Structure 1
Amino acid sequence: MRIKRTGLTLGKFAPLHKGHQYMIETALSEVDELVILIYDAAETEIPLSVRAEWLRRLYPQAVVLEAWDGPQEVGDTPKIRTMHEEYILRRIKGRRITHFYSSEFYGEHVSRRLGAINRQVDPGRTVFPVSGTLVREDPFKWRDYVHPLVYRDLITGVVFLGAPSTGKSTLAEALARKYGTVCMPEYGREYWEAHQVDRRLTPEQLVEIARGHLEREERLLTSANRYLFVDTNAITTYMFSLDYHGFALPELEELARMAASRYDLVFLCADDIPYDDTWDRSGEVKRAVFQKRIIADLKQRRIPYIELRGNLDERIATVERVLARFRKYDSLGEWALRGIEGRM
């Protein structure tokens, strides 16, 4: 009777890159069951739960164990080796490991303690010459070595909201140029110009706008460099549906609800700049009313936001100050922004 082959690999996966994936996929091709032990990591702000979710989504056939209390000491001393070995034995809870997968020095002593085959996978990093340190230092440079599912979580999503003619498009485009990244234009304007009848769209068409905007935004994330600047979102489309029809279809309501927690930073462009009275807009009075409704909706949804006032240069300066202090996964990030002029 053939013995069940059970593999084990471990790491911080901070972040997960193609070198890690090559090891995991090699293991999956050679064993009947694979256990992945993922450790907390002080060197990254990305929570362990987020990193574990990458593994679960990409490799649902593997068993992912979160090592919240795993040892953080690294090195090749008898004390550190024993500490790690005993922790691994406790976490696998009696599983019989037949193959231990790694590309590190510890593969030898951990395999020996487990009574497993020491399966070294690309220890010289020749197949995928990348490391977590390199990706952390410059995710954009190494983005070809990072799965899109992972890369999107390395990008800070910045959305600009506000009534028509509050400078959202101009600001998003200017910031994208300044930071060498991409911006997501307002898909609703493009759609409206192509499909409007008597300056109106149907409730179903407004759902198409929100859905299409989100799809384009997702595609752009893989081209973003640190930041993706977004001109409006599904909440704006939802507000237009209320304005046009007095209601929104359930799918649009759900897309707006999802948008409430999708972005890392929300900026509200104030209506303190001259109104650009183009043919596709409804007038300065309507702008003021729409702005009030957007603010009320943000408050009702409990969405923290920062108000941007003044000319373009003044608004850019405020965004720069916020971005300089903001860290995507830092739980103190919101409090650090309290000193920034605006509203939270």
Structure 2
Amino acid sequence: MNKNALVIGKFYPPHAGHRHLIETAEAEAEHVYVLVQGSRFESLTVETRAAWLKEEFDGANVTIVPVRNDCPVDYASDEIWTAQMENMRWALKVRGVEKIDAVYSSESYGARLAEAFGAIHVAVDPQRRNHHISGTACRDDLAENWQQIIPAARCGMAVRVIVVGAESTGTTTLSKALSEHYRPQFPALVDVPEYGRHYTYELLEALQRTNPDAAVEDLVWTDTDFAVIAARQTEMEQAAAESAPLVIADTDALATTLWERYYLGEGSYGSFGALDRLPHRDVYLLTDHTGVDFEDDGWREGEHRRPEMTEWFKEALTEEGHSWILVTGSRERRLATATAVIDAILAQQAAFTSPVWAGRTVLEQAA
């Protein structure tokens, strides 16, 4: 077994091939140092990529080291090679690592890198047969290669659109319309419905087993109920992010805190703990109550509180610093407003930037 193993890469983004490379080194070395080399010219920061890898290898004998590296790449230049080596050597040295025993790589420069460190070279799946994927392929087509990206990176990169609003203001209608609109582009897109309504059904069914005549107004809510709803809502959202690059969620944990306030008053905070684990948000779409007829389906409190609730949402979203858009007008107008901003965010998500000297990995056709 080697003592110190080294893996380097851009991990832009980290994918299954990278995981296989690191896991191979981990199985054969006492400790693995992974240098994540990121450039200012790239749209995902090196710190972000390193954080995803740290989550993936949490608890393993792996140290993830983010390294800012804006040095050009030119394998024919000894001077550039020296500059690159010094960047790597000092990234390790300041962490107390003076000796590397093995370099694990799938790249053609792996042997030269190992020689420079006075280490052995271990080539790992250089033909990409075990994992027919590359960072280039992921950047070229996120939707096609989404499942090849490690889970933490998927959750971090997914565009998240959260639809919120007061009762009977068209949140579910808009959420479903958006899912239908984008599913041809993202076939793996998963619906994220309002879990609170499902939970209410379950509570009522449980109550009716002992009291067959019980109705929804007989339910007694507690802060624990809202804690369960908020946690489950986030779990559903995270599962959707792992499935596709776009998440359309009909409410979220932040909205749950407002519904807890609505039902239990200002002094109840059962769901608030979920805000500490709230994933990043790209945009909230707040459905306006104006111009929308109130539909009483037997589960709603009443039309009179819709204006107040809408203001609560505006206040909470603003105080928390989120991007939010009030969607109003007809169904068609609301959908047009929503898709305009979502299309722009998706275009930004897919626009991976790279320095002019960056190479491209071209995969051979899979057998």
Task: Please indicate the TM-score interval, normalised by the length of the shorter structure.
Answer: 0.7 to 0.9
Shift of 1:72: 4.1
1:45-78 CA distance string (max 9 Å, x none): 2221111012212224212221114524244332
2:129 aligned residue = 126
Query: Cα RMSD between the aligned structures?
Result: 2.3
Q: Distance in 1 between matches of 2:134 and 2:53?
A: 17
Does structure 2 retain, via aligned residues, the 8 Å contact 1:45–1:329? no
- Tell me, what secondary structure is at the counterpart of 1:266? strand
1:288 aligned residue = 307
- Which structure 2 residues correspond to residues 294-313 of structure 1 after superposition, within 5 A? 294-313=313-332
Shift of 1:4: 6.0
Q: Distance in 2 between matches of 1:56 and 1:258?
A: 17
Q: 1:104 to 1:324 in 2, by over 3 A?
A: same
2:343 aligned residue = 324
How many residues in Structure 1 have an aligned counterpart in Structure 2?
Answer: 326
Does structure 2 retain, via aligned residues, the 8 Å contact 1:192–1:201? no
1:14 aligned residue = 12
Shift of 1:282: 2.4
- Which structure 2 residues correspond to residues 168-247 of structure 1 after superposition, within 5 A? 168-180=171-183, 181-196=189-204, 197-198=216-217, 200-203=219-222, 204-224=224-244, 226-247=245-266
Among 133, 137, 141, which residue is 1:138 paired with?
A: 141
Q: Distance in 2 between matches of 1:201 and 1:160?
A: 27
Shift of 1:279: 1.8
Shift of 1:220: 2.2
1:269 aligned residue = 287
Higher RCO, Cα 8 Å, sep 6+: 2
Q: Distance in 2 between matches of 1:208 and 1:107?
A: 49
- Tell me, what secondary structure is at the counterpart of 1:67? strand
- Tell me, what secondary structure is at the counterpart of 1:71? coil
TM-score by length of 2: 0.82
2:363 aligned residue = none
Q: Distance in 2 between matches of 1:318 and 1:74?
A: 46
2:81 aligned residue = 81
Q: Distance in 2 between matches of 1:98 and 1:4?
A: 6
Q: 1:120 to 1:56 in 2, by over 3 A?
A: same
1:322-342 CA distance string (max 9 Å, x none): 123223599xxxxxxxxxxxx
Shift of 1:28: 1.0
1:52 aligned residue = 50
Does structure 2 retain, via aligned residues, the 8 Å contact 1:81–1:109? no
Shift of 1:194: 3.1
2:117 aligned residue = 114
- Tell me, what secondary structure is at the counterpart of 1:183? coil
1:244-279 CA distance string (max 9 Å, x none): 2214544412224544x6322111111122222322
Q: Distance in 1 between matches of 2:220 and 2:246?
A: 31
Among 314, 317, 327, which residue is 2:333 paired with?
A: 314
Unpaired runs of 5+ residues, structure 2, are 184-188, 205-215, 352-367
Q: 1:199 to 1:185 in 2, by over 3 A?
A: farther
- Tell me, what secondary structure is at the counterpart of 2:71? coil
Unpaired runs of 5+ residues, structure 1, are 331-344
TM-score by length of 1: 0.87
